[in-house]
Amino acid sequence: MRVTKLITFIIQFTTIGLAAAFLVLYFYSEKDKIEEHSSSYTNPEIVELVESTRIIPSAPLNSYASAVKNAAPAVVNIQTTKIITERQHPLANDPLFRQFFGDSIGEPRKRMESSLGSGVIVSPQGYILTNNHVIKAADEILVALKDGRNAKATIIGSDPDTDLAVLHVSLKNLPAITLSKTQNEVGDVVLAIGNPFGVGQTVTSGIISATGRNMLGINTFENFIQTDAAINPGNSGGALVNSHGELIGINTAIYSQSGGSQGIGFAIPLSLARNVLTQIIEFGHVKRGWLGVAIQDMNEELASSFEMKKVYGIIINGIAKSGPADKAGIKPGDVITHINDTEVKNTHHLLNLVSQVNPGNEISIKGINQDGEFETTAKVIQRPTQQQE
């Protein structure tokens, strides 16, 4: 019996020993695998992160208060008054009608019509830039300054082709706006200052969305700055300034289906407005060359018919009788490809090339007609108001 118990004890002890040995061997085997896996991984180089070096200031970053303080005093509200004469009733001359309603029914009636806009004082001498459509046909123009002063304004001259006008007020110590000398770029911050809906001087902000916008059908000569700064009715003629409060344009139009701002506004750039201002003050009008033609852009089909290798130039649709082009022998159907050796890109380009020539000067013209290439000269004359070309 004792032998049996002894044998059983030995078997149990041996089994426990073998199990312990198995566990020890398994542990060290797994440890070796872990160490082997760990030894195959090496620490990477320090990761370089690009971090902003800009230090956030304690003052608000997006404050343009100083720009507004510089520009706002030079932006004025413009109120115009027109006398509208209403036609007499069509039955006013009927004796029976006059018997019942009296003789006074046939007399024309007059009423006053007012409208509001904006303007910018550009000279301490009292010259103000605004839009032509703001003061067009006005019988009286009243200018209200931000400092509370009011004055009647006189029209020095206007230019319907760019929708600009120059006014003058006789006041002392006028706050003239500073004109920008920097080139405008898409993305620049801009402020629009004016009198929207007649609520009083208002400032809106945005950026320049595009430059050189043309062929919009707004003006004859177009080179607009496009902005998303809110421009509404009443802002016309107001100032578009940069973040320093310097004038870069004259607000003139909006693209809208509702009549309100939809983030697409247009301003006449200072370069164009300044040229118009200078000429109106000096001559009373803007001097521009005129060729006397009706024109349209070329297309691939027309270019192919003239065996042109690329699409450029313009085609003549009509000729003003006894005009410069008529005298130069140009005919409808001709294609003008060069003005003074400058290749003509489109109708807008030709319009600008000709308008930049002083009336009385000659230009050289190259083109193509049914007989082949031709070259001629034309003496441009003063451009009539609001003509196509």
| Residues whose CB is less than 8 angstroms from the CB of residue 250 and which lie 6 or more positions away in sequence, other chains included | 120, 129, 130, 131, 164, 237, 238, 239, 240, 267, 268, 270, 273
The tokens describing 233, both together, are 């009715």
Q: With the CA atoms of 285, 291, 297 and 301 taken in that order, what torsion angle do they form, in degrees rounded to the nearest 10?
A: 180
Query: For residues 353 and 355, what is the distance between their CA atoms, to the nearest angstrom?
Result: 6
The residues with which 44 forms a beta bridge, in sequence order, are none
Residue 163 falls in the annotated catalytic set? yes
Query: For residues 344 and 353, what is the distance between their CA atoms, to the nearest angstrom?
Result: 9
Q: With CA atoms as reference, report the closest residue to 234 among 121, 126, 79, 70.
A: 79
The angle formed by the CA atoms of residues 51, 52 and 56, to the nearest 5 degrees, is 140
Residue 236 falls in the annotated catalytic set? yes
The angle formed by the CA atoms of residues 195, 224 and 222, to the nearest 5 degrees, is 115
Select which of 236, 261, 334, 349 is catalytic: 236
What DSSP character marks residue 124?
T
Select which of 115, 118, 133, 228 is catalytic: 133
- 3-class DSSP state for residue 215? coil
Select which of 115, 158, 159, 163 is catalytic: 163
Phi, psi of 283 (to 5 degrees): -115, -15
Query: For residues 167 and 5, what is the distance between their CA atoms, to the nearest angstrom?
Result: 128
What DSSP character marks residue 195?
-
The tokens describing 108, both together, are 């024309």
| Residues designated catalytic | 133, 163, 236
